[in-house]
């Protein structure tokens, strides 16, 4: 039987170094009913170590989708959550795991949860793809979680949030713009702002685009709203008629 929440969530591991962490992640996923694993440029996969650490979750590994880049891994995703314990220069909207799962449950369409590299997590550029940053509360003196452990925490919250018998989740009716539609919009927006002279070459341009990404990710526009915004940008870019 399909589970409305568990079946729409994909776990995305970015540039995982140790294949054992991939196997342990598969095990964590299967114990809670998650099945969709995407791997972005993993090192040493497939491997015997990953299979051994999966401890019976071989089917998750067999179905894992290996992607060349993050764009491929996020194709079709409507809500993107990025996990991180590091402070960032520009703050990002944050949720704890329970809040993140509640957001996922009310989102129509696919949800991607990103987990970064073992040593330093997600880059700022990768974080900018996310609607929210998910921070797992932990000991402030030692807050480093293994990737598989972090996946287990989120997977557990998803399992516990499933509706009771006879109840149904009520996702929002409007479909959020997909990851690829949002990236096309940001490219269009930056190009338009540069053409109008609002943006100049250099660091202020980069910082401004980071803040604009944060603004629109927080707004979570749907597909119709993104089309409206791009229509406005296209109109601005058209040369004015001269009489």
* Model confidence pLDDT, tens digit, residues 39-51: 999 998 999 999 9
- Judge if 35 and 108 occupy the same domain: yes
Report, as an integer, the average pLDDT of 171-178: 77
In a domain, 214, yes or no: yes
| Rounded alpha-carbon distances, angstroms, from residue 73 to 43, 54, 65 | 16, 21, 8
Angle at 89 between CA 94 and CA 158, to 5 degrees: 20
Domain tally, the chain: 2
In a domain, 172, yes or no: no
Task: Show the tokens assigned to 77.
Answer: 């995703």
In a domain, 169, yes or no: no
Q: Where are the beta strands (DSSP E) in the chain?
A: 9-14, 36-40, 65-67, 77-83, 94-95, 110-115, 132-134
- Judge if 94 and 47 occupy the same domain: yes
- Judge if 137 and 231 occupy the same domain: no
- Judge if 156 and 191 occupy the same domain: no
- Judge if 85 and 190 occupy the same domain: no
Q: What is the pLDDT of residues 81-109, one digit of tens each?
A: 999 876 666 788 999 999 999 999 999 99
Domain that holds residue 155: 6-161
| Rounded alpha-carbon distances, angstroms, from residue 221 to 210, 224, 225 | 17, 8, 6
- Judge if 137 and 50 occupy the same domain: yes
- Judge if 133 and 199 occupy the same domain: no
- Judge if 21 and 118 occupy the same domain: yes
Residue 37 near residue 13 (C-beta atoms within 8 A): yes
Report, as an integer, the average pLDDT of 120-139: 92
In a domain, 127, yes or no: yes
pLDDT at 172: 56
- Judge if 13 and 90 occupy the same domain: yes
Distance, CA of 83 to chain centre? 8
User: In which band, very low, low, confident or very high, does the pLDDT at 132 lie, cut at 50, 70 and 90?
Assistant: very high
Residue 19 has pLDDT above 70, yes or no: yes
Question: pTM of the entire structure?
Answer: 0.87
Give me the residue label for tokens 């269009």.
188
Q: Domain with 231 in it: what CATH number?
A: 1.10.8.590
Q: How far apart are CA 156 and CA 160, in angstroms?
A: 6
In a domain, 206, yes or no: yes
Q: What is the pLDDT of residues 149-161, one digit of tens each?
A: 999 999 999 999 8
| Rounded alpha-carbon distances, angstroms, from residue 232 to 191, 197, 198 | 13, 17, 16
Q: Domain with 114 in it: what CATH number?
A: 3.40.1280.10
In a domain, 12, yes or no: yes
In a domain, 173, yes or no: no
Residue 129 near residue 72 (C-beta atoms within 8 A): no
- Judge if 69 and 103 occupy the same domain: yes
Report, as an integer, the average pLDDT of 127-131: 94
- Judge if 232 and 147 occupy the same domain: no
Q: How far apart are CA 229 and CA 233, in angstroms?
A: 6
pLDDT at 205: 84
Q: How far apart are CA 155 and CA 9, in angstroms?
A: 10
In a domain, 86, yes or no: yes
- Judge if 122 and 201 occupy the same domain: no
């Amino acid at each position: 039987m399909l589970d409305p929440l568990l079946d729409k969530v994909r776990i995305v591991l970015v540039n995982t170094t140790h294949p054992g962490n991939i196997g342990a992640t598969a095990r964590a996923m299967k114990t809670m009913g998650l099945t969709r694993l995407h791997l972005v440029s993993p090192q040493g996969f497939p491997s015997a170590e990953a299979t051994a650490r999966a401890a019976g979750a071989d089917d998750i590994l067999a179905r894992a989708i290996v992607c060349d880049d993050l764009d491929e891994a996020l194709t079709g995703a409507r809500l993107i959550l990025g996990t991180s314990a590091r402070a960032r220069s520009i703050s990002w909207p944050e949720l704890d795991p329970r809040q993140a799962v509640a957001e996922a449950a009310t989102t129509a369409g696919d949800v991607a949860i990103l987990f970064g590299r073992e040593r330093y997590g997600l880059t700022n550029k990768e974080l900018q793809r996310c609607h929210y940053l998910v921070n797992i509360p932990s000991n402030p003196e030692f807050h480093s979680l293994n990737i598989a452990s972090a996946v287990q925490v989120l997977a557990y919250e998803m399992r516990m949030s499933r509706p009771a018998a006879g109840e149904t989740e009520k996702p929002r009716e409007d479909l959020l713009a997909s990851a690829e539609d949002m990236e096309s919009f940001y490219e269009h927006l930056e190009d338009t702002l540069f053409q109008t002279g609002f943006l100049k070459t250099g660091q202020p341009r980069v910082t401004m685009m980071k803040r604009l990404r944060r603004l629109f990710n927080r707004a979570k526009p749907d597909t119709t709203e993104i089309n409206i915004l791009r229509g406005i940008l296209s109109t601005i870019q058209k040369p004015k008629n001269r009489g």
